[in-house]
Copies of this chain bind each other. A is one copy, B any other.
């Protein structure tokens, strides 16, 4: 187990690999893991070729969601999307499959994927039975089942309590609940008039997580679904519940991260990160977007990149991608690629702002200055698209580009400015 080992000063294989990737010492990394500031999502039942560290001072990580939907049950397609996401640079994959093939998809994914895999076991719990027939025990069983299958991290909507739902009823929210898992567990609580089993039985979940070293990702079922609902009482009440659960996790050597909004205007992002980090004892923060406007369906990878960049700059550690298909339909492979790249750009921009990663940009600038197109393509976050664009609209002089041709600023400067350096 990563936390226990880190506390003992033992360097696991993953700690060694990640320290190298992140260019920090294993000592520093272990210190952060021991404090709960960094997690390494990895189920003890899995071998992961590309383990990932998520948290304070590390480079920003990106998660891509894939998964079948009731209307689209092709497993092969989803596996391909996962591969596309990983090739584009995704650090973790969440399988959010719904419908009859959900377990098969997850099994294949675990078998074929080299990155950490996350799930929302609630989807399985609510798959076959209608809400009135679902028991608390059944919900816990799906968590155990995913742990046994080797899932590396799970989202549990353990912060939605009867109190939170009362708050929701009293608040004039525009969108109420937009979290899929959040809506399901809220429906269960409301129907059964019982407390959320993910909250009530949290100790049992801790036991399961501990047994498999499965990282818990505390879901934000009350995340605002529109700008108008940002940073309101239901959201903040849920966060307070989550903060107590973080404490429990950290006390019990269970790796934990906290999920966050959602739709948030730019001017409230910093505050959202700060309060989460403060209340949750610096646990890694995993944000969905945030989306800085509601009006761009078809382009929400861009609204998410704006929000994600600002969030990661101010301390968010893990960015859940948003694809152009968000709010509209199940993403296809191309949407997945665009979503991952937009989030990678956001994370990288944040890493630059935080002084972590500038070398790649310097190498790109040198390649541009030298009109070395091969090197530019090589350094690009996605070598494929710039290659295509260059081919589509070439120029007579292959040293330049068809935007400026003989009026290339770099060439003009080289020719006329006799520099003394």
Contacts and interface: CB of A to CB of B under 8 A. Distances in A.
A159 B172 CA distance: 53
A347 B124 CA distance: 41
A358 B228 contact: yes
Interface string A380-408: 11101110111011111000011111111
B174 A296 contact: no
A413 B183 contact: yes
Contacts of A390: 328-329
A132 to B, nearest CB: 10
Given A71-B402, A328-B386, A369 B175 contact: yes
A225 B328 contact: no
A198 B222 CA distance: 57
B293 A348 contact: yes
Given A182-B409, A417-B165, A369 B176 contact: yes
Contact of A366 (B174, B176, B368): B174
A410 B178 contact: yes
B72 A402 contact: yes
Interface stretch (A2-10, A21-29, A104-112, A349-357): A349-357
Q: Determine which residue in A123, A172, A386 has the highest number of CB atoms from chain B within 10 A of its CB, and name it.
A: A386
Interface stretch (A30-38, A134-142, A297-305): A297-305
A355 B261 CA distance: 20
A292 B328 CA distance: 29
Nearest to A396: B71
Interface stretch (A144-152, A184-192, A276-284): A184-192
B345 A302 contact: yes
A13 to B, nearest CB: 30
A365 B416 contact: no
Contacts of A358: 227-228
Give the number of copies in the complex: 2
A409 B98 contact: no
A129 interface: no
A175 B371 CA distance: 11
Contacts of A126: 407
B364 A295 contact: yes
A320 interface: no
B413 A349 contact: no
Interface string A166-181: 0011101011111110
B187 A294 contact: no
Interface stretch (A42-50, A54-62, A205-213, A306-314): A306-314
Majority SS at the chain A contact face: helix
A190 B396 CA distance: 28
Nearest to A328: B389
Contact of A305 (B191, B306, B385): B306
Interface string A323-365: 0111111111000000001100110111011100010111011
A80 B292 CA distance: 31
Contacts of A184: 407, 412
A269 to B, nearest CB: 9
B265 A328 contact: no
Contact of A187 (B225, B380, B416): B416
Interface of A: 69-72, 98-99, 123, 126, 131, 165, 168-170, 172, 174-180, 182-184, 186-187, 190-191, 225-229, 265-267, 292-299, 301-303, 305-306, 309-310, 313, 324-332, 341-342, 345-346, 348-350, 352-354, 358, 360-362, 364-366, 368-369, 376-377, 379-382, 384-386, 388-390, 392-396, 401-410, 412-413, 415-421
Query: Which 6 pairs show the lowest CB-CB distances between chains A and B?
Result: A298-B385, A226-B365, A187-B416, A183-B409, A70-B405, A292-B349
Given A180-B412, A187-B415, A229-B365, 17 more contacts: A169-B421, A174-B369, A175-B410, A177-B412, A180-B407, A183-B410, A225-B365, A265-B352, A299-B341, A303-B349, A306-B309, A306-B345, A329-B394, A329-B402, A329-B403, A330-B402, A330-B403
